[in-house]
A and B are shown apart, each in its own frame.
Chain A
Amino acid sequence: MNPPVLGTVTNPEPEEIEFQFETASSWQLTWRRFRRHKLALVSLILLGFLYLVVLLADLLATADPTRIDASRAYLPPQPIHLRDDSGFNPHVHPVSGDWDHRIFRRVHHIDPRRRLPVRPLARGYEYEFLGLIPTDLHLIGVEGETQALSLLGTDGLGRDLFSRLIHGTRTSLTIGLAGVILSLVLGVVLGGISGFYGGAVDTVIQRVIEILLSIPTIPLWLGLAAAMPRDWGVLRVYFILTVILSLIGWTRLGREVRGRFLVLRQEDYVLAAELMGASRASVIRRHMVPAITSHVIATATLALPAMIIAETSLSFLGLGLRPPAISWGILLQGAQQVQVLALRPWLLAPAVPVIVSILAFNFVGDGLRDAADPYARRT
């Protein structure tokens, strides 16, 4: 366990021993303990990268995620050829497709003689960078084309899966975050009231939590999601879905906060603050809330995967987000039929970020939870 004050000998000369004291806030201590948890640290970096993708989705997309091109339907992942006869020249070959009536399947013809150069910062479809600056630059792409490069193949409508995956990441990771933030507000307020006041209020809130926990969530979510009118716009569905997810998701957070408050209420320093005449509000704000913040953040991080799974599951069943919105669940809808999947395994690609992000949030949450507890054994 780290002592809050580290005394270090900086000058080994026997006459002038000088102690230099280093003070660290509880956040710095938490960070130090967290850093020792290698898996959690790697996961945190990974999540940072994923949220960077969220911010820069349009820049990273190699093709227009909404553009339909029937001749490219179900195109397998398209490799970038790095060299040609004259040396280093990354390029792809143009593809045309048509329907083969003998085998009842779409066939693609690759034209090996023509080369489409793949360039960094190529001009593609137009978008607004960070929602502010109109531009058409993309990190890599085929200059002047919006549809020529399909790193992960295309879906049944010929839309580029890689670009759709990147845009889906934006939706799925933000809806999870928004849902957790909303559950956090509900959980902290209701759990705090429950733990601080106790008595009848506590009993009622605890019963409500127990009831919510004993109802199977997916049928309930399905019911609530099915209640959304079919003609609602993408943004409205997104918002209501967040509310639906957090209406049920706050219970565990509420329990955690209540448990912490119950313990804290007995602490001597809280009693001391009360005896010194601090108002109830200031005791909560100055002394109790800081003591639970790190735990609450850890619990919230652990709640995020459940949110992501919930959104993905609902959208997968067709009751969550709806096209034209793009999310991991909606992309996985394309992989629902095993017969389709067996011929086009690349449609399962959206499963990879789902699994990676769930695991990463779990590791980071575990690491945070261990790091946030100053009395934890060092393992």
Chain B
Amino acid sequence: MVAYLRRRLLQATLTIWAISIVSFVLIELPPGDFVTAYVDRRASQGIPLPAEEIQILRVRYGLDQPAAQRYLIWMGRLLRGDLGVSWIRGQPVSEIISDRLWLTMAVSLAAILLTWAVALPVGVYSAIRQYSAGDYLFTLLCFAGVGVPNFLLGLLVMYLGFVWFDADVGGLLSSQYVDAPWNAAKLWDLIKHLPLPALVLGLGGTAYMIRILRANLLDELSKPYVLTARAKGLSEIRLLLKYPLRVALNPFVSTAGYLLPYLVSGSVIVSMVMSLPTVAPVLLSALMDQDLYLAGTLVLLLGVLTVVGTLISDLLLLWIDPRIRFRGQS
């Protein structure tokens, strides 16, 4: 188990390092840099910058150094907890994103919880009542979940909310709480707003989970040991919960690792559609402006949070599944 943990931690570290390089390259890819973009903007306004001032800007932002050096400076600061300053906004990155990052995580977490809360009972029901009217209904809903991309679903929900209730169903906080400091009332307001975005974000994953659970449980239920247990007079509920469900749940937990990147990725576009105050709008505008510290830090942070979440789900799996726990010992 220790060997497994060590391997898993090493892998997570390696992944985070790879993500940091990818994020840095992303920002370096476009021709030109922040200063050329700034110079262009000034020139288009009719106030061209003198050459020495451009040079001063370059030195100030460290752009006169080679790329490898810039990467090291960036990483060094990040490791010391300094996220840097956004070039465009002139604000510390940590200040711009602190709330937004937590809200991004809140939305993703809510989507995961909702996915599990819905997929578990529905998957079990569909398996034990195979081919019933309810099973068909849920299968149909699953098809909708697979077929409708989540940004379209968000658009549809916003549209229906507007037409039926004449209300803007987007957003995560009521207007009076947006700039308010965090307290119980604001938290409650957030919790009230979470289900809808979580549903929009999580429907695709839920559909996938239901299909997996249903198929796994059906496989298990047709096995001889279930028949034996039933012949021995075990009640249907205990029969189901004791072994088949536990075996069928395994892939359920293990796919959680892939669910998180998928959800974080989806949250970016759903946030744009449903105007959620997550990191997405900031990321988008930073990418457009080639704002290295902001965009790079955001891609990196999203990646790191995803890797950490995946790690946690792996540890959960370790806890649930004895086969993984004991493999390292033998």
Binding site for B on A (CB under 8 A): 207, 210-211, 213-220, 222-224, 226-229, 309, 312-313, 316-317, 319, 332, 335-336, 338-339, 341-342, 345, 348, 351, 354-356, 358-359, 362
CB distance from B182 to the nearest CB of A (A): 26
Contact B272 A317 (CB under 8 A): yes
Within 8 A of A (CB), among B147-161: 147-149, 151-152, 155-156, 158-159
Contact A219 B299 (CB under 8 A): yes
Other than A215-B19, A215-B261, give 7 A-B pairs with Cβ distance below 8 A.
Answer: A210-B11, A215-B15, A223-B27, A336-B155, A338-B155, A348-B156, A351-B155
Alpha-carbon distance between A336 and B284 when the two chains are bound, in angstroms: 16
Q: A207-B14, A210-B11, A215-B19 are in contact. Are A223 and B168 (CB under 8 A)?
A: no
Across the interface, which residues of A come within 8 angstroms of B18, CB to CB? 211
Contact A217 B30 (CB under 8 A): no
CB distance from A316 to the nearest CB of B (A): 6
Alpha-carbon distance between A356 and B30 when the two chains are bound, in angstroms: 36
Contact A317 B269 (CB under 8 A): yes
Contact A214 B268 (CB under 8 A): no
Residue contacts A-B, CB under 8 angstroms, 10 given: A211-B14, A214-B307, A214-B310, A219-B298, A226-B288, A227-B26, A342-B163, A348-B155, A348-B156, A351-B152
Across the interface, which residues of A come within 8 angstroms of B306, CB to CB? 214-216
**Highest count of chain B CB atoms <10 Å: which of A214, A316, A354:** A214
| Nearest chain A residue, comparing its CB with the CB of B26 | A223
Contact B261 A213 (CB under 8 A): yes
Contact B26 A224 (CB under 8 A): yes
Contact B26 A220 (CB under 8 A): yes
Within 8 A of A (CB), among B1-60: 11, 14-15, 18-19, 22-23, 26-27, 29-31
Given B14, B149, B302, which contacts A358 in the complex, CB threshold below 8 Å? B149
CB distance from A208 to the nearest CB of B (A): 8
**Residue B283 is within 8 A (CB to CB) of chain A in the complex:** yes
CB distance from A256 to the nearest CB of B (A): 15
Contact A219 B302 (CB under 8 A): yes
Across the interface, which residues of B come within 8 angstroms of A358, CB to CB? 146-149
Across the interface, which residues of A come within 8 angstroms of B261, CB to CB? 213-217
Contact B19 A211 (CB under 8 A): yes
What is the size, in residues, of chain B's interface with A at 8 Å between Cβ atoms? 51
CB distance from B126 to the nearest CB of A (A): 15
Across the interface, which residues of B come within 8 angstroms of A339, CB to CB? 162
Alpha-carbon distance between A169 and B263 when the two chains are bound, in angstroms: 27
Alpha-carbon distance between A348 and B30 when the two chains are bound, in angstroms: 34
Contact A220 B162 (CB under 8 A): no
Across the interface, which residues of B come within 8 angstroms of A319, CB to CB? 284, 287
Contact B283 A220 (CB under 8 A): no
Q: A214-B15, A339-B162, A354-B152 are in contact. Are A229 and B264 (CB under 8 A)?
A: no
Across the interface, which residues of A come within 8 angstroms of B30, CB to CB? 226-229
Across the interface, which residues of B come within 8 angstroms of A227, CB to CB? 26, 29-30
**Highest count of chain B CB atoms <10 Å: which of A216, A227, A316, A317:** A216
Across the interface, which residues of B come within 8 angstroms of A226, CB to CB? 30, 287-288, 290
Chain A contact residues: over half helix, strand or loop, or mixed? helix
CB distance from A18 to the nearest CB of B (A): 42
Contact A216 B265 (CB under 8 A): yes
Q: Mark B161-203, 1 if CB is under 8 A from A, else 0.
A: 0110000101000000000000000000000000000000000
**Residue B303 is within 8 A (CB to CB) of chain A in the complex:** yes
Contact A218 B268 (CB under 8 A): yes
The 8 nearest A-B residue pairs measured at CB:
A227-B29, A216-B265, A223-B26, A226-B287, A359-B147, A218-B265, A216-B264, A227-B30
**Residue B92 is within 8 A (CB to CB) of chain A in the complex:** no
Contact B149 A309 (CB under 8 A): yes
**Residue B243 is within 8 A (CB to CB) of chain A in the complex:** no
Contact B269 A316 (CB under 8 A): yes
| Nearest chain A residue, comparing its CB with the CB of B273 | A336
**Highest count of chain A CB atoms <10 Å: which of B22, B27, B170, B261:** B261
**Residue B258 is within 8 A (CB to CB) of chain A in the complex:** yes
Contact A355 B302 (CB under 8 A): no
Across the interface, which residues of A come within 8 angstroms of B15, CB to CB? 210-211, 214-215
CB distance from A117 to the nearest CB of B (A): 36
Alpha-carbon distance between A218 and B306 when the two chains are bound, in angstroms: 13
Contact B152 A222 (CB under 8 A): no
Q: A223-B295, A226-B30 are in contact. Are A355 and B268 (CB under 8 A)?
A: no
Across the interface, which residues of A come within 8 angstroms of B299, CB to CB? 219-220, 223
Q: Mark B291-312, 1 if CB is under 8 A from A, else 0.
A: 0000100110011001100100
Alpha-carbon distance between A361 and B262 when the two chains are bound, in angstroms: 20
**Residue B61 is within 8 A (CB to CB) of chain A in the complex:** no
Across the interface, which residues of A come within 8 angstroms of B22, CB to CB? 215, 220
Across the interface, which residues of B come within 8 angstroms of A216, CB to CB? 261-262, 264-265, 268, 302-303, 306
**Residue B84 is within 8 A (CB to CB) of chain A in the complex:** no
Q: A219-B299, A342-B162 are in contact. Are A359 and B143 (CB under 8 A)?
A: yes
Contact B303 A218 (CB under 8 A): no
Across the interface, which residues of A come within 8 angstroms of B151, CB to CB? 313, 316
CB distance from B314 to the nearest CB of A (A): 11
Alpha-carbon distance between A207 and B288 when the two chains are bound, in angstroms: 31
Alpha-carbon distance between A281 and B137 when the two chains are bound, in angstroms: 50
CB distance from B214 to the nearest CB of A (A): 13
